[in-house]
Structure 1
Amino acid sequence: MISTLSSWLSLSDNRAKLFAALTVVLFATAGVGALTAPDGPHLTVDQQRPANNTYIALQGYQHEGRAIEVNPAGKIVWQYTKADDVFDIEALGPNRVQIATAEEIPDENCPAKYRNDGYENCVRDSLRIVEKSTKKTLWNYSWYDAKLQHHELHDADHYVVDGEDRWVMVDMGNNRVFAVNRDKQIVWQWNATDTYEFPDGMDKEGDWTHVNDVDRIRPGVFRISLRNFDTVADLHVQGNGSVTVTPVVGPNSYSKSGKILYEQHNPDTLANDTLLVADSEHDRVVEIRNNTTTWTYGGSGMFDWPRDADRLSNGHTLITDSYNDRVVEIDQNGKVVWAIKTGSLPYEADRVPGEGSNGPTASQLGIPNRTEGTSVVNERVDWGVAMAKYVLPNDLAQQLVTMLFGLLALVGAVIERLR
């Protein structure tokens, strides 16, 4: 029988027929799996439920971004859907939340500057203060930019100076960080071109700094993440609005690769001036002090492009595992005790009320290092699944790409056997 099958497969037409038949089965099976997949966020690990709810910002793959609040059982108890992409959500009180959003706008509705600029559509970035009970926008600060991709508002931080509310924001498309007051007046601004040389030959709308995070760590000092520099730096803002830059970790250069971080997101400052950072392209979370990595957790066998990590008051760590479409919580033993599958590309998560800065370090808590790698094949599958989600429903993309790689491996093995 094996000899007969080998003879039949030796003919290219028969191999093509087999491949076509398996492809039909592949799509049919994936479709059934997508239809039977759980609808909406759901817990995948439920060993130790948190005491409070969790805010999750869902960027979305296909304009399905939203902000959600889930209870310890993983059920949505509140959501905000009035945006294409959501990157940041923070509690400002029991009935107010701050949400960083981006919306793609048709060219005909864009300001004249962006209607015929060579890019399809434009983006409206908006920081919104939303009343939870009514979902009414109480205050917002918005601006337009050339396009959606790499031109979004990824983060903002609220602070107070002499009793006056202020918000500092990162403007990725214009490579700047700036602060406004409640009257929407810019009180200080730093442009990356004030400190760094714009790369020769790069399009003016090219993805240069990709500044994606800002936190006020003390009066006059704002810590930022220059993702494409593999660098975390401090902006020192003087009373007259002048700004100087001090690198904290990284090469502080667009043209050089970082030795510690690789396109990081959301650095938080813990005790002893230790950084807790989602080291995204390394698929891990790290702590760094004095340019030395002091704690590592993750790896491509555990995470796929994590973009946020918060150290909670109980010593646990809340991690947003973006391309795995989930948020996980690990305890002081490094064990996952709570995890929720969210779908829709989560960007960051905050435990209610807001936590995550000036907490204890992993060394103080005794959290062990843990890293797990995976095979190149699995990494390719994960990458394929992530890219497919930008054009296919999440669950269908997961099953389709996984089975497709399995099918290709099977066909390759058969062909190799016949040689």
Structure 2
Amino acid sequence: MRRRSVIVVVCCLCVAAPVVLAGPSATAGSTASAAPDDANPCVGTMERAANGLTVVSVQGMRFGDDGGKRQARLVALGPRGQVEWVHQRDGVTWSYDVDPVDDGTLFVTGTKYRGEDKPGRTVFYKLDPETGETVWSETAPFQDTHDADLLSDTEILVANMRATANVSGNRDRLLVYNRTTDEVTWQWQFRDHYDRDADLGGNYSHDWTHVNDVDAVNETHYLASPRNFDMTVLVDRTSGDVVWELGEPNSGDVMRKQHNPVHYESENGTSTVLVADSENDRIVEYARRDGDWQRTWRVGNESSLTWPRDADRLPNGNTLVGDSSNNRVLEVTPEGEVVWEVYTPWLVYDVERVPYGDEAGGPTIADQDAEGAVNLHGDAAFDATRQERCDAALKNATRFSDLGDDDGGIVGDLLGGGDSDRTTARDDQTSHDDGWDLRQFARGLELVGVAVAVGFVVLLGAGLLFFRRYEQFEIPGED
């Protein structure tokens, strides 16, 4: 014959309490986050917090075992590497350039509709990162554009590679495209300045220059990266002249198959170029002194970086690096120390620290008295298993609000920051307001846990007294 007691109800609280303390549950606007004792698998070294969001363009291509094409996406990371949101857009198969715009939006360049009918068509769009809505979108008549700059809300500066359709030979060029009239209002063709019969570039009738980047240095000068020429060039828009070249075709000594060069100017006016020297697995900086280029800085090699494709100098003097085939983003000091490291599989292309706008403008290496070749050090050991966990976390972090032809989806506050921060954030790197820090949430839950525990003890005592007083009575109908 069994007896029943109120103590059964009390024990239910005991079972429920650990669930509450384990972490927040999913709501209508989010996905369940990792528990406080389960560190964000995407975070490596985290010596200090970043200033605001870091947005990463991920192409979605995996090499090696289980290799193949994955979904392209944008990943926004908080100051300590927490995943703020993940954006994927219907039809965009390759994600390339992403630029913060002064109005708070992001200007994105990608490739969509890859297929026999429309192979590698370029799409430009502005994304509102607060809502996940596409402000405007244009599918342009260019093939597989890797980089573009928004000159105004209507004019787009384009690095037009693989421009061989419906032309005789090659039409690789820099151009300005008016998205409202669908017209090219200015263009500069490489074939007018370089000899097609010279020993440089790729196949003239297929992918001669592979011009993968163009930046407006000012209103009249554009910096371009014809990757297959192993050089960067500065073009005067007004005269059409090549002002200078950096690099030497086919030698690979200065750079080989480079990406995303950025032009800076030292305090004394010296032109300086920071570039991801992709095929040489390093980041390099060159200063133009008395008409000659001198390498002032080098970091990384094949044992530490693998095909890096982006590098920006931050205002604090560090360099933000997209270590492409290693699927990670690094902030590196002039001495080569990694102070901020987050993984975003698979295949990083572009990375921007949002508060600093497009191509953050920090001091040159020469202005920091830090010239030389340094080794990369201080990054975390990152095994394949953890990388798989990071990829799974990013997949779980994705929720589509309206994934149609012109709309993407975002989610916020999904993964907490890394647990390996060992120093206090300095100066302007103290902001945590851009995202939810899971550890702060956990500390709040600790207080809730104390209250639950006290309540549990009181109810348990009351239950025991009740049980002792009435345990002699049998409940009718039970045996």
- Note whether the superposition's TM-score is higher than 0.5: yes
Shift in Å, 1:77: 1.4
Aligned pair partner of 2:309 in 307, 310, 313: 307
Matched, 1:130 2:122: no
Kindly provide the amino acid, as one letter, of the partner of residue 215 in structure 1. D
1:361 matches 2:368: no
Give unmatched runs, 5+ long, in structure 2: 1-37, 62-68, 164-171, 377-382, 392-479
2:322 is equivalent to residue 324 of structure 1? no
Secondary structure at the counterpart of residue 325 of structure 2: helix
Matched, 1:168 2:157: yes
Match of 1:244 in 2: 241
Question: Is 2:93 aligned against 1:91?
Answer: no
Q: Does the CA contact (< 8 Å) of 1:40 and 1:343 recur in 2? A: no
CA shift for structure 1 position 199: 5.0
Does 1:285 find its partner at 2:292? no
Q: Over aligned residues, Cα RMSD in angstroms?
A: 3.0
Report deviation, 1:190.
1.6
> Quick one: distance in 1 between partners of 2:308 and 2:114?
28
Which has the larger helix fraction?
1
Instruction: State the identity %.
Output: 30
For the residues of structure 2 that align with 1:323 and 1:51, how far apart are their CA atoms? 25
Q: How far is the alpha carbon of 1:274 from its aligned partner? A: 0.6
Residue in 1 that maps onto 2:85:
78
> 2: distance between equivalents of 1:133 and 1:215?
26
Q: Which amino acid aligns with 2:369?
A: G
Residue equivalent to 2:228: 228
Task: Identify the residue that residue 188 of structure 2 maps to in structure 1.
Answer: 190
Larger radius of gyration: 2
Checking the alignment, whether the CA contact within 8 Å between 1:233 and 1:246 is kept in structure 2 is yes
Q: TM-score, normalised by structure 1?
A: 0.69
Displacement after TM superposition at 1:258 (Å): 4.3
Paired with 2:106 and 2:76, the residues of 1 have a C-alpha distance of: 11
SS in 2 for 1:48: coil
> Is 1:171–1:211's contact at 8 Å kept on the other side of the alignment?
yes
CA contact (8 A) 1:52 1:72 kept: yes
Q: Note if contact 1:305-1:321 (Cα within 8 Å) is conserved in structure 2.
A: yes
Deviations 1:92-136 (A, max 9, x none): 1454110010124332xx25xxxxxxxxxx111111112233433
Task: Provide the C-alpha distance between the structure 2 equivalents of 1:213 and 1:40, rounded to a whole number of angstroms.
Answer: 33
C-alpha spacing 1:167/1:355, structure 2 compared with 1 (3 Å): closer
**Are the counterparts in 1 of residues 314 and 361 from structure 2 also a CA contact under 8 Å?**
no
CA 1:134–1:339: 2 relative to 1, 3 Å? same
Superposed CA offset, 1:291-349 (max 9, x none): 21111111112111111110001111101100111000012443111100111100111
Residue 141 of structure 1 is matched in structure 2 by 138
- Are 1:209 and 1:228, in contact at CA under 8 Å, matched by a contact in 2? yes
Q: What residue in structure 1 maps to residue 146 of structure 2?
A: 154
More strand by share: 1
User: Structure 1, unaligned stretches of length 5 or more?
Assistant: 1-37, 112-121, 146-150, 374-384, 399-419
Give, in whole Å, the separation in 1 of the partners of 2:227 and 2:371. 27
Shift of 1:395: 4.3
* Correspondence for 2:73 among 46, 66, 71: 66
Residue equivalent to 2:209: 209
TM-score computed with the length of structure 2 as normaliser:
0.61
Counterpart amino acid of 1:167?
I
Q: How many residues align?
A: 317
Question: Structure 1's 74 and 357: CA in aligned 2 closer, same or farther, altered over 3 A?
Answer: closer
Deviation track 1:204-241 (CA, whole Å, cap 9, x = no partner) reads 65221010111111121101011111111112112xxx
